[in-house]
Amino acid sequence: MTTEERVREAAVRLFAERGFHGTGIRDLAQAAGLSSATLYHYMGTKEDLLVEIMRTSLTELIGKAEQITGDETDRLVSLVKMHVRAHAEKPRETAVVDGEMRALTGERREEIVALRDRYERFWQDAIDDGVKARKLTVADPSVARLALLEMCSGVSRWYSPAGPVKLSDLTIQYAAMALGMLGAAR
Amino acid sequence: MTTEERVREAAVRLFAERGFHGTGIRDLAQAAGLSSATLYHYMGTKEDLLVEIMRTSLTELIGKAEQITGDETDRLVSLVKMHVRAHAEKPRETAVVDGEMRALTGERREEIVALRDRYERFWQDAIDDGVKARKLTVADPSVARLALLEMCSGVSRWYSPAGPVKLSDLTIQYAAMALGMLGAAR
DNA sequence: CCCCTTCGATCGATCGATCGATCGGGCCTG
DNA sequence: CAGGCCCGATCGATCGATCGATCGAAGGGG
């Protein structure tokens, strides 16, 4: 593993555990096994590091969402399973993306927000199409999207692979709950 | 409005917008219209202020949850409506409770975690009772509780009273989605 | 084979700024 | 003139970031 990767992993862990502002440069350096000076040989500013983590994670999600095809219901189920799996397998990365957006400033913030919006488009389209095809019954598709995304993203805040729930079961349960809450025809 | 209340309101707003570690004592003082020295005439440490905000908010939620009665489904619907209403009407307080737990240390953390656990008990009981009475159909009641709570708490992260959705409609929609995702008999 | 240069990697020391918190004293009011 | 309210000044600590210096490995000319 390269030093850059070690820095990145340490940053992901600490940002997720203590938050961006709660993590100091010296904490980061110690966790990566470097001096704080050497740290800057491998990264830009602390905010650069945060942006990189978020961009990578969001780009990966978008890439997976783009590969999803099928009818309205299939797409929604696939989105939910993919999203839940990602949040369970990489809880730290996704928690940083979901929780540290406010630490970004200026253009960097806009870039990441744009990526997030692009990702959420897939969800909105899937829900809208499902409603149009009368396969889903929701009062307000936008509210449904927000509620569904919050529910699925929350996985990163509590799921542990060491716990009693298998990941494969988790994705199935979430898919079922998603269809239920969107009033899918049974 | 007393000065203490002004300090508290400023703290809630800033903690919610920038996070606990992202908010400085001087930011707090300026937002409350005081010097940083005077601030300490009205509060203890910064962490004391955070604990107070969380304790008040959680105690209020628990108080409301205790007043809820009815059969299994009624209680669950009431919990959802109450929770969503609280998160929509006081998005900053609830966002701080949900998002800044990690900023607490030692005993203070344990106290707040205990309050949160006590509140979540109401949800777990309502779901468990609903399953026992065969009015709900969920694969794993604990997973269902976590998913439902994340969905409902997320409201504080996006809802705006200035937006197109009325609060009374919102609570009804969330109640319907909750029943749907828990497989309530239709 | 040996010396000399070059370069990436690393660090101790330190920068100016800001952090949370405190102190002594001034100002107003009863 | 006593006491609540308030603040400028300042504390030691820590913040994010940068500095010059040092190290060992790689490379090339004699």
Residue A93 pLDDT > 90: yes
- State residue A185's pLDDT score: 74
B185 vs A: CB within 8 A: no
Of all protein residues, which has its CA closest to the C1' atom of C22?
B37
| Distance between CA atoms of residues A122 and A100, nearest Å | 22
Q: Is the pLDDT of residue A136 over 80?
A: yes
Q: Rounded to whole angstroms, how far apart are CA atoms B123 and A133? A: 34
Residue A1 confidence class, pLDDT cut points 50, 70, 90: confident
Protein contacts on strand C: list nucleotides below 7 Å from a Cβ: 9-14, 18-24
Whether B149 has its CB under 8 Å from any CB of chain A: the answer is yes
* pLDDT attached to residue B14: 96
Per residue in A18-48, pLDDT (tens digit) is 999 999 999 999 999 999 999 999 999 999 9
Q: Provide the CA A20 to C1' C9 distance, Å, integer.
A: 27
Average pLDDT over residues A157-185: 96
Q: Which nucleotide shows the minimum CA-to-C1' distance to residue A48?
A: D16
What pLDDT score was predicted for residue A186? 67
Q: Look at residue B1 in the predicted model and tell me its pLDDT.
A: 85
A138 DSSP 8-state letter: -
Mean pLDDT across the stretch B50-74?
96
**Residues A45-54, mean pLDDT to the nearest whole number:** 95
Q: Where are the alpha helices (DSSP H) in chain B?
A: 3-18, 25-32, 36-42, 46-66, 72-89, 91-99, 106-132, 141-153, 155-158, 167-181
pLDDT of res. B88: 98
How many Å does it take to go from CA B71 to C1' D10?
62
Identify which of A21, A112, A146, A84 has the alpha carbon closest to the alpha carbon of residue B87: A146
**Which residue is closest to B157 within chain A, CA to CA?**
A150
State the pTM of this model.
Answer: 0.94
